[in-house]
Amino acid sequence: MGQFQASLAVRAFYAAQTMANNLGFTLTPDSMVSFQDATFPMLIMTFLAYAGNNLYPVFLRLIIWTTYRCTPKNSSLREPLDYLLKYPRRCYTLLFRSKPTWVLFGIIFVLNFVDVLLIVVLDLHNPAVNTLPGGPRVLAAIFQAASARHTGTSSFNLADVNPAVQFSLLVMMYISVFPIAISMRASNTYEERSLGLFSSDGEVVDESNTTNYVLSHVRNQLSFDLWYIFLGIFCICVAESNRIMNPSEPVRSS
What are the residues whose beta carbons fall under 8 Å from the beta carbon of 192, sequence distance 6 or more?
A: 198
Is 76:187 a contact under the CB 8 Å cutoff?
Answer: no
Q: Which of 110, 183, 94, 122 is nearest to 149 (CA)?
A: 110
Q: Is 229 exposed, middle or buried (0-12, 13-18, 19+ CB in 10 A)?
A: exposed
Is 56:105 a contact under the CB 8 Å cutoff?
Answer: no
What pLDDT tens digit does each residue of the chain (254 aa) get?
Answer: 555 566 778 888 888 888 888 777 888 888 888 888 888 989 999 999 888 888 888 999 999 999 999 999 888 899 999 999 988 888 888 888 888 888 889 888 988 899 999 999 998 888 888 888 888 899 999 999 888 877 778 888 888 899 999 998 888 877 755 455 555 555 555 555 555 444 444 455 555 566 666 677 667 666 667 778 888 999 999 988 888 887 777 665 54
Domain spans, the chain: 12-180
Q: Which of 178, 191, 167 is nearest to 218 (CA)?
A: 178
